[in-house]
């Protein structure tokens, strides 16, 4: 059962795993939002925890940065530990005028410059999309809390330091809500191995306006994103249809 990257034993993970990029954010989420928390992975310091949220067993584990790192963990969580729902809870950069720092965006789809989904999909374009019911339940949870979220396309970049700034204007023109580095990979892995996926991000910086949150806030400052994600999962438990 343990893999080269995860030391947990069978049953240590819940069927639902939250995946921030930052393992210290995973620890913060576990300690802040979950009860009865147990640490289930320390390999490579990619911290993983299992606890309960309002009585519902939930795990949280870092994915690392970028699609290759996330793909290893997501695949193993599904095929070795039985994960059925993987929700990335990340940070992203904005390019649109109407998306600002601290806004919450939900990745209904994710474009990418990565080749991983073509590799797994016979060389063809793969439409990397979130699970619809999970998306709907999270949006409903946000509405009930009075929290505004934007739902649409993310862009999952291989390079954090994009060599050509003009590309950000292309992303803006195409309505991209946020630039991050994992969602398209998560959606591809979950499609291939049969799990349901969603990405919820808090905007940590505006790339074109040169505004940014500091590293500490990216580690511990995303409470509202966590609240709507966790409440969305409880709603999804009550109506788990794949509509
Ligand atoms: O804050 P996280 O969840 O790591 O997400 C974003 O931050 C990292 C880059 O700084 C990338 O992983 C990107 O996707
Ligand atoms: O990947 C990321 C994350 C936050 N901000 C960015 O510009 N890119």
Q: Quote the CA–CA distance of 148 and 127 in Å, as a whole number.
A: 26
d(CA 41, ligand 2 centre) in Å: 26
Task: Report whether 88 belongs to an annotated binding site.
Answer: yes
d(CA 24, ligand 2 centre) in Å: 17
What local confidence, expressed as pLDDT, does residue 103 receive? 96
Catalytic residues: 205
Torsional sign, CA 29, 30, 32, 35: positive
Q: Give the angle 60-207-231 at the CA atoms, nearest 5°.
A: 30
Task: Report whether 63 belongs to an annotated binding site.
Answer: no
The answer, yes or no, to whether any atom of ligand 2 lies below 6 A from the CB of 156, is no
**What is this model's ipTM?**
0.98
Q: Model's pTM, two decimal places?
A: 0.97
The answer, yes or no, to whether any atom of ligand 1 lies below 6 A from the CB of 178, is no
Atom number, ligand 1, closest to the C-alpha of residue 65: 12
Question: What are the C-alpha distances in Å from 60 to residues 24, 47, 134, 184?
Answer: 11, 8, 17, 19
Q: Please, are residues 201 and 107 in contact by the beta-carbon 8 Å criterion?
A: yes
Q: Quote the CA–CA distance of 200 and 192 in Å, as a whole number.
A: 21
The answer, yes or no, to whether any atom of ligand 2 lies below 6 A from the CB of 20, is no
Q: Quote the CA–CA distance of 162 and 159 in Å, as a whole number.
A: 6
What local confidence, expressed as pLDDT, does residue 44 receive? 98
What local confidence, expressed as pLDDT, does residue 218 receive? 85
The answer, yes or no, to whether any atom of ligand 2 lies below 6 A from the CB of 22, is no
What local confidence, expressed as pLDDT, does residue 235 receive? 98
Please provide the DSSP assignment of 1-47 as one string: ---SS--PPTTSS-SEEEE-S-HHHHHHHHHHH-EEEEEEE-GGG--
For residue 209, give the ligand nearest its CA: 2
Cβ-in-10-Å burial (0-12, 13-18, 19+) of 148 comes to: exposed
Q: What is the pLDDT along the chain (243 residues), one digit of tens a residue?
A: 799 999 999 999 999 999 999 999 999 999 999 999 999 999 999 999 999 999 999 999 999 999 999 999 999 999 999 999 999 999 999 999 999 999 999 999 999 999 999 999 999 999 999 999 999 999 999 999 999 999 999 999 999 999 999 999 999 999 999 999 999 999 999 999 999 999 999 999 999 999 999 988 887 779 999 999 999 999 999 985 655
pLDDT in tens, 57-116: 999 999 999 999 999 999 999 999 999 999 999 999 999 999 999 999 999 999 999 999
Atom number, ligand 2, closest to the C-alpha of residue 157: 1
Residue nearest to atom 1 of ligand 2 (CA): 180
Q: Please, are residues 178 and 151 in contact by the beta-carbon 8 Å criterion?
A: no
What local confidence, expressed as pLDDT, does residue 135 receive? 98
Query: Nearest to residue 136, comparing CAs of 15, 14, 231, 17?
Result: 231
Residue nearest to atom 7 of ligand 2 (CA): 93
For residue 67, give the ligand nearest its CA: 1
Strand ranges in 181-233 using DSSP code E only, listed in sequence order? 196-206, 211-212
What local confidence, expressed as pLDDT, does residue 220 receive? 79
């Amino acid at each position: 059962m343990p893999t080269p990257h995860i030391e947990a034993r069978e049953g240590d993970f819940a069927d639902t795993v939250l995946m921030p990029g930052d393992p210290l954010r995973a620890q913060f989420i576990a300690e802040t939002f979950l009860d009865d928390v147990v640490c289930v992975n320390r390999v490579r310091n990619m911290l993983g925890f299992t606890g309960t949220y309002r009585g519902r067993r939930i795990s949280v584990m870092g994915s690392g940065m970028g699609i290759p790192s996330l793909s290893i963990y997501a695949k193993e969580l599904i095929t070795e530990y039985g994960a059925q729902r993987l929700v990335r809870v990340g940070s992203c950069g904005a390019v649109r005028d109407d998306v600002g720092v601290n806004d919450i965006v939900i990745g209904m789809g994710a474009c990418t410059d990565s080749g991983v989904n073509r590799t797994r999909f016979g060389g063809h374009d793969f439409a990397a999309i979130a699970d619809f019911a999970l998306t709907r339940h999270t949006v409903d949870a946000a509405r009930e809390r009075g929290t505004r979220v934007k739902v649409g396309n993310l862009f999952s970049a291989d390079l954090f330091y994009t060599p050509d700034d003009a590309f950000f204007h292309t992303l803006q023109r195409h309505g991209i809500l946020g630039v991050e580095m994992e969602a398209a990979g998560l959606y591809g892995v979950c499609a291939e191995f049969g799990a349901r996926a969603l990405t919820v991000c808090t905007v940590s910086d505006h790339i074109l306006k040169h505004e940014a949150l500091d590293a500490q806030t990216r580690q511990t400052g995303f409470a509202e994103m966590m609240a709507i994600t966790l409440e969305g999962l409880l709603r999804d438990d009550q109506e788990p249809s794949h509509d």
